[in-house]
Structure 1
Amino acid sequence: MERAGRRVVAPIEPEPAPVPAQHFPDDFAEVLEATSTSRSTIGCVIPAYNEEESIAAVLESLLRQTRVPDVIHVVVNNTSDGTVREASKFAGPHEITTELGDQFTEVFIHDIGKNPDKKVGALNYGYSLVEGYDYLLGVDGDTTADNRAVEYLESEILADSRIGGISAIYSIDDAPIKGLVAQFLIAGQRTQFAAFNMQNLLRGRNMAVLGGQFSIFATKALRDVMRENHQNTPWVRDSEVEDSLLSLQIKSAGYLTKISPFAHADVGGMTTLRALDAQQVKWTYGAIELMWPGQRGDTKGQPFHPNLRLRWFENFSMLTNIVVRVAFIFLLVGSLSIGAFVFSPLWLIPPVIAVLLNVRVAMTMQDKTKRDILFAATGIPAELYMWVRISHFLRAWTSFLSRKKVDNWAAQAKAEKGGGFAHWAPLFVGIGVVIAIGVIWSLLGTEVQSAILAVGWPVLAIVTVVQTLFMFFKLVRRQYGYRV
């Protein structure tokens, strides 16, 4: 491909200054003070699959950075749209003037055609092009970042040689989203991202997953991972979630995996139920495989690995959410059916605490909107989204326990194109279960029904109290001024 003519990008306006460092834990303030003035080298790799609509914005975002990557490689794979055409408009050298001075970068477009390893193959192809650089910046083909994101990531990873990778804080730009369902789903995903980011920030900024959306990796750490795991490439297809597996391996190699408190990036959100279902099922299924030994390839399964403890906690929390909700509905209906229900205002405490917690999460968002606040404060949208997440959780575990091998990457691609109906399966199964339980309940005698209720309500009360206490502790926990 011929290089485009030489481009000169106009100086950019600096973004508003971030929250002062003293609002964050002392460790990051020390990092900023100790930042080296030496120039490291950063090679950016963008794996792109059918990103015609977003790739231009991604490249523009990178060229607006105060610290521009030294080279940018767009690796197009298995694409069927105009990604190459749109990306090629940016190909060639670029001279850029920022507040850090004059900078130079060059954009290369690589169309590797059909690749059986898909995103993993594109990432490894990109790695082969930048392995001589100090750092690899991985950016998804639908992710845009704040203008100082690369600068912040580089500053921190330069200051501590123990760090193997740092992730930006992820959210989703909801401004262009239209349609009631799409806006509801995006609001839920924004809340989900915010809660996950805050959880990692409060764990000493130790990031369980260096998401491929916008993360920087020390190439030395990647080489160590390859050597210790006898791999020819940093990324392997031993997991549905290649970034989670690599993060685990980097941690096992003795490096730190961190999340930046300053660098923010907007990722592509899922605007339909089927697309969101496919993505979330893939993520959950992949996490289960990492936790469970011997699933594919050389996946060892390390349930007590530091990067997987949070995964177990997430799965246990989701299971608790299911038990509490399902048990409450059936006990309530059962009590009403025999005229034994007695209302207690104490049952209002858990949903009130949940709403307050959701509101606090929304208030920590750096770019929160009225929609985020309403989503949290009204309670009903957040509860509906929880049921959507429950369906993803059940589908992932059912698929895993059935031992049926599926290509979740292909399923997600199909869903994003509007194909597939698997996301309705939990609803139909749930309706069947409700009918079956209703029939069984009607066949039981009153004494048996009363006995079930007499045991069920106290057990549910105990579980709910424990869950509510956990929510309360999260509600009052200090957040050090972090913004997600």
Structure 2
Amino acid sequence: MRLAREGSTQRPGPQRTTRIRTLHQGPGRDPNPWSPALPETPSPSTAAPAASRYADDFLAVVQTLPESRATIGCVVPAYNEEESIGQVLEALLAQTRLPDVIHVVVNNTTDRTVERAARFAGLHTVTDEHGGERFTEVFVHDIGENPDKKVGALNYGYTLVEGLDYLLGVDGDTVADPRAVEFLEAEIASDSRIGGISAIYSIDDRPFTGVVAPFLIAGQRAQFAAFNMQNMLRGRNMAVLGGQYSIFATRALRDAMAANRQTTPWVKDSEVEDSLLSLQIKSAGYLTKISARARADVGGMTTLNGLDAQQVKWNYGAIELMWPGQRGDTKGQPFHPNLRLRWFENLSMAVNALTRVLFLVLLAGSLSIDAFVFSPIWLVPPVVAVLLNLRTALSMQNRNWRDILFAVLILPAEVYMWIRLGHFVRAWTKFASRKQVDNWAAQAKAERGGGHAYLAPVLVALAAVVAMVAIWFQLTPVVQSSILWIGWPVLGVITVLQTLGMFGKLVRRHHGYRV
């Protein structure tokens, strides 16, 4: 048996530990001469560098471990989007946080949407500024003729991503800022109570020229800005998670489906499938929010008939959800918290219609009998309205000179308000008629340039004016004077209350929000 000499060491290994064996027995020595001694205690001068090297090696190993993060599946329903689908996919692939998978679901299309989208199919690798690589894969699905249209496409996409943590819904004409997905994910992951978050919507007005299209786009931009700011100032609680660019927690979708005994998240019971799903998510105990930073430009309506069809469909669907009782499979929920803003919007539109009609009728009646007396106090409401429109324009993130002119020139905003009043009247008229109408088909037809239903409010207004003029001149001067004597004070009271409401919005703090 070979004895280890005192001071001899083992062969170097991964950890250099010196073991000493000795035959010498003295006070405090191990009685077993063959037992290995404890490692030598390193001196303070060598302990620090060794610990530092060990820490550096440990951190290097940790950095090589794969990170655990949530998964995002993106669903892009597309119907006749050959002009925009390429830009949408390019914007998705340029995101700082790529979705883990992108499914383009083409339905009922009659153009080259499939061919344009197919150019992006396959695996995509993106190198970020730090040299790291990010991956995503694009799949294009042509589901052909689908009677459920966009709802069917969304539900088809949901079956493909339901196992992931989040579903990102993107319309086939919506282009987002490069950090939109990153912001949406960070916000929804920050609070487990959030079921869905919508981006801040606007419209890119740069591609449009002429007169009608830029005017309509400016009006829609102002409408989006006012709506977004109103939701932000309500604690960023969003009544409608618009399908244009919203992220949903798939657990919230599953809970909403279970609570409503549905096999799919979206149902075609309502003209506004996004509003209905938002109500269901809220009722399931989740929060519905608008993002503070994620932005997206949606496709705007550039024709009067296209804008009319879209707005009437939205308003009709909202009324259907608001109204007590049940129409078909849609049950009204008048007291749902997500519909309070809808009630306020409809009441505001009704007041706007009443004040304008009363003013025109009373003005015409006063002039007809030489009884009109101008008072400068009537300039206060339009001045407050202009200031409110200007503040809304200044709160826009990407405002331009068109937005400012639309706000400060009274005529454009007033004309757009009359157009919106036409949509409001048409939606309520269709709802009151109880006639079953496919507003999806009507919008598709209008976007193709067909139909003249948007002219109906104008014709009705002209007929009403003719009727009132005929009746007015049949009245005696005493009756005419009595109507004016009562009508002007009533209009004055309503206008004062409306002006106070606008002034309250004008002086309300925006807390730094940009829309």
Global fold match (TM > 0.5): yes
Which amino acid in 2 is paired with 1:56? G
The partner residue of 1:376 within 407, 415, 419 is 407
Q: Does 1:255 align with 2:281?
A: no
Q: Does 1:208 align with 2:239?
A: yes
2:167 aligned residue: 136
1:239–1:296 contact (8 Å) kept in structure 2 = no
1:140–1:212 contact (8 Å) kept in structure 2 = yes
Q: Deviations over 1:402-449 (max 9, x none)?
A: 111110000000000000010001101110000000000000000000
Q: Does 1:196 align with 2:236?
A: no
The partner residue of 2:119 within 67, 86, 89 is 89
1:391-410 equivalences in 2 (<5 Å) = 391-410=422-441
3-state secondary structure, aligned to 2:509: coil
C-alpha RMSD over aligned residues:
0.9
Q: Does 1:303 align with 2:334?
A: yes
Q: Partners in 2 of 1:209 and 1:251 — Cα distance?
A: 10
1:104 aligned residue: 135
3-state secondary structure, aligned to 1:465: helix
The unaligned stretches of length 5 or more in structure 1 are 1-36
2:466 aligned residue: 435
Q: Partners in 2 of 1:98 and 1:368 — Cα distance?
A: 30
2:505 aligned residue: 474
1:26-425 equivalences in 2 (<5 Å) = 38-99=68-129, 101-425=132-456
The unaligned stretches of length 5 or more in structure 2 are 1-66
Cα distance, 1:297 vs structure 2: 4.2
Q: Deviations over 1:101-150 (max 9, x none)?
A: 42110000000000000000000000000000000000000000000000
1:97–1:103 contact (8 Å) kept in structure 2 = yes
3-state secondary structure, aligned to 1:186: helix
Q: Partners in 2 of 1:98 and 1:408 — Cα distance?
A: 44
Q: Partners in 2 of 1:97 and 1:348 — Cα distance?
A: 59
Q: Deviations over 1:18-45 (max 9, x none)?
A: xxxxxxxxxxxxxxxxxxx841000000
Which amino acid in 2 is paired with 1:355? V
2:46 aligned residue: none
3-state secondary structure, aligned to 2:404: helix
Q: Does 1:461 align with 2:492?
A: yes
3-state secondary structure, aligned to 1:119: helix
Q: Partners in 2 of 1:448 and 1:164 — Cα distance?
A: 59
Cα distance, 1:99 vs structure 2: 4.5
Q: Partners in 2 of 1:276 and 1:111 — Cα distance?
A: 28
Q: Partners in 2 of 1:474 and 1:390 — Cα distance?
A: 21
- State which structure, 1 or 2, has the greater radius of gyration over its C-alpha atoms: 2
- The TM-score, its normalising length taken from structure 1, stands at 0.92
Q: 1:142 to 1:434 in 2, by over 3 A?
A: same
Q: Partners in 2 of 1:359 and 1:39 — Cα distance?
A: 43
Taking every aligned residue pair, what percent have the same amino acid on both sides? 74
1:7 aligned residue: none
Q: Partners in 1 of 2:410 and 2:326 — Cα distance?
A: 39
Q: 1:406 to 1:295 in 2, by over 3 A?
A: farther
Which amino acid in 1 is paired with 2:286? Y
1:293–1:299 contact (8 Å) kept in structure 2 = no
Which amino acid in 2 is paired with 1:58? V
Q: Deviations over 1:314-343 (max 9, x none)?
A: 000000000000000000110111111111
Q: 1:39 to 1:464 in 2, by over 3 A?
A: same
- The TM-score, its normalising length taken from structure 2, stands at 0.86
Q: Partners in 2 of 1:267 and 1:295 — Cα distance?
A: 32
3-state secondary structure, aligned to 1:157: helix
Cα distance, 1:293 vs structure 2: 3.5
1:14 aligned residue: none
Q: 1:99 to 1:250 in 2, by over 3 A?
A: farther
State the structure with bigger RCO (CA 8 A, min sep 6), 1 or 2.
1
Which amino acid in 2 is paired with 1:204? G
3-state secondary structure, aligned to 2:294: strand
2:63 aligned residue: none
Cα distance, 1:298 vs structure 2: 3.5
Q: Partners in 2 of 1:63 and 1:454 — Cα distance?
A: 65
1:27 aligned residue: none
Cα distance, 1:98 vs structure 2: 2.6
1:91–1:107 contact (8 Å) kept in structure 2 = yes
3-state secondary structure, aligned to 1:443: coil
3-state secondary structure, aligned to 1:210: coil
Q: Partners in 1 of 2:325 and 2:449 — Cα distance?
A: 33
Cα distance, 1:238 vs structure 2: 1.0
Q: Deviations over 1:318-372 (max 9, x none)?
A: 0000000000000011011111111110000000000000000000111101000
Cα distance, 1:97 vs structure 2: 1.9
Deviates more, 1:274-283 or 1:300-309: 300-309
Cα distance, 1:204 vs structure 2: 0.1
Cα distance, 1:294 vs structure 2: 4.1
Q: Partners in 2 of 1:64 and 1:482 — Cα distance?
A: 25
Cα distance, 1:179 vs structure 2: 1.5
2:9 aligned residue: none
1:66–1:99 contact (8 Å) kept in structure 2 = no
1:6 aligned residue: none
Q: 1:251 to 1:99 in 2, by over 3 A?
A: farther
Q: 1:110 to 1:294 in 2, by over 3 A?
A: farther
Which amino acid in 1 is paired with 2:83? E
